């Protein structure tokens, strides 16, 4: 199958295209023998040793940057942080009760009007601009909608992680918090043909522009079965004060057939490799502030779900407590996902374009057999 082959009709029936190979990619390998790799690099090594900007460069440009390329790339991103005045005006019109994911979607779409992808603004330029702008977009709207404050969205922060936390809290974050944020951005950056990425590739296959594809991807990520799971996981964890409360509560939820968010995965069968990394950070941040609730409650739920359902926590589950301990409001959890995953989305958009075929799957028709048309006056 070619790198970007359209989905072929299949004989095997399966829910949600599970197990169906829809194409080939050189960007990431998830599941199977590879566990999780970005362009051949283990997620464990990247999370331990790399900065998010190195990973963004790797995904978008194919290779890890040299020292000079890395320094130049960070400088470039720092120089792209200022929000256009017209975009600020749009953000100020969005009401406070809007979901922040809707804010990210609207801002992306509007940006496509004032900074369109064209000969003067190529696909890599669009990618870099979105990576640089997204923290400012999210926090500018959040602060203005709640307090009427027009914050200065430009900081001298060295990294995306530090820039976002500085904007959010109005002060320089600790090195530990920057490191935790950096790891989270790396873990969320890319994950093969997930729902939002496949949406972006499908839109791209029609020869649409980057902004349309990213806007569609944000729409797909908004749902609780994809990106919204981290918000739902936080809402679950915060219900309980002790591990015992959590065990009783979640047991009751299972008995009444309620969905427990943050567990299981369509690609992995025994464990999500990213969970090992983010769980350790949840413990580390909890210990830093002496929080004796979030991590023990999370662990109790994790053990119960494994013992009762053989379900493991995915990246979203412990990301919830990490974000909470970093002082990030729960409604921002999925937009933070966008800040990171836009790198993977645009890498896939560029790959789709490199050998494009329209993605147009087939369906098994299960409706009525052929019928004759009856004029309206004769219908009963």
Q: Domains in the chain, start-ordered, CATH in brackets?
A: 43-222 (1.10.580.10), 229-325 (1.10.230.10)
> What is the distance between the alpha carbons of residues 164 and 53, in angstroms, rounded to a whole number?
14
pLDDT at 18: 60
pLDDT at 33: 54
Is residue 22 over pLDDT 80? no
- Spatial CA neighbour of 336 closest among 204, 195, 182, 210: 182
> What is the distance between the alpha carbons of residues 333 and 312, in angstroms, rounded to a whole number?
20
pLDDT at 230: 87
Active site residue 316: yes
Q: What is the pLDDT of residues 275-313, one digit of tens each?
A: 999 999 999 999 999 999 999 999 999 999 999 999 999
Q: Name the percent of the chain lying above pLDDT 70.
A: 93
Q: What's the whole-number average pLDDT of the chain?
A: 92
Q: Which of 128, 191, 272, 316 is catalytic?
A: 316
Q: Which of 191, 265, 272, 348 is catalytic?
A: 265
pLDDT at 8: 41
Is residue 26 over pLDDT 70? yes
DSSP state of 36: E
Q: What is the pLDDT of residues 187-203, one digit of tens each?
A: 999 999 999 999 999 99
Mean pLDDT throughout 124-137? 98
Q: Which helix (H) or strand (E) holds 351?
A: helix 333-354
Q: Which of 34, 99, 169, 226 is catalytic?
A: 226
Higher model confidence: residue 173 or residue 23? 173
> What is the distance between the alpha carbons of residues 292 and 83, in angstroms, rounded to a whole number?
40
Q: Name the percent of the chain lying above pLDDT 90.
A: 83
Higher model confidence: residue 380 or residue 10? 380
Q: What is the pLDDT of residues 237-282, one digit of tens each?
A: 999 999 999 999 999 999 999 989 889 777 777 889 999 999 999 9
Mean pLDDT throughout 102-109? 98
Per-residue burial over 113-136, b if 16 or more Cβ lie within 10 Å, else e, is eebebeeeeeeebbbbbbbbbbbb
pLDDT at 4: 45
């Amino acid at each position: 199958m070619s790198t970007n082959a359209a989905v072929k009709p299949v004989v095997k029936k399966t829910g949600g295209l599970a197990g169906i190979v829809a194409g080939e990619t050189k960007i990431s390998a998830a599941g199977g023998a590879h566990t999780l790799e970005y362009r051949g690099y283990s997620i464990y090594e990247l999370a331990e040793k790399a900065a998010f900007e190195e990973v963004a460069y790797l995904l978008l440009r194919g290779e890890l940057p040299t020292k000079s390329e890395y320094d130049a790339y960070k400088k470039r991103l720092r120089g792209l942080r200022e929000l256009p005045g017209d975009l600020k005006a749009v953000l100020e019109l969005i009401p406070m009760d809007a979901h922040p994911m809707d804010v990210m979607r609207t801002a992306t779409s509007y940006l496509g009007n004032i900074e369109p992808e064209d000969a003067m603004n190529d696909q890599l330029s669009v990618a870099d601009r979105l990576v640089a702008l997204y923290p400012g977009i999210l926090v500018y709207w959040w602060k203005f909608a709640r307090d009427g404050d027009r914050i200065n969205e430009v900081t001298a922060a060295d990294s995306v992680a530090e820039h976002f936390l500085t904007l959010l809290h109005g002060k320089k974050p600790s090195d530990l918090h920057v490191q935790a944020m950096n790891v989270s951005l790396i873990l969320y950056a890319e994950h093969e043909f997930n729902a939002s990425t496949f949406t972006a590739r499908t839109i791209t296959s029609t020869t649409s522009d980057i902004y349309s594809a990213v806007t569609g991807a944000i729409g797909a990520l908004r749902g609780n079965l994809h990106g919204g799971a981290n918000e739902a996981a936080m809402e679950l964890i915060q219900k309980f004060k002790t591990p015992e409360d959590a065990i009783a509560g979640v047991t009751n939820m299972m008995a009444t057939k309620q969905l427990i968010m943050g567990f299981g995965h369509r690609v992995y069968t025994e464990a999500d490799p990213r969970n090992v990394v983010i769980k350790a950070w949840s413990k580390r941040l909890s210990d830093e502030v002496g929080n004796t609730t979030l991590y023990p409650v999370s662990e109790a739920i994790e053990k119960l779900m494994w013992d009762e359902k053989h379900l493991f926590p995915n990246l979203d589950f412990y990301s919830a407590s990490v974000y909470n301990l970093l002082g990030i409001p729960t409604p921002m959890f999925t937009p933070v996902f966008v800040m990171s995953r836009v790198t993977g989305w645009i890498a896939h958009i560029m790959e789709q374009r490199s050998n494009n075929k329209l993605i147009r799957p087939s369906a098994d028709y299960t409706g009525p057999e052929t019928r004759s048309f009856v004029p309206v006056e004769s219908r009963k």
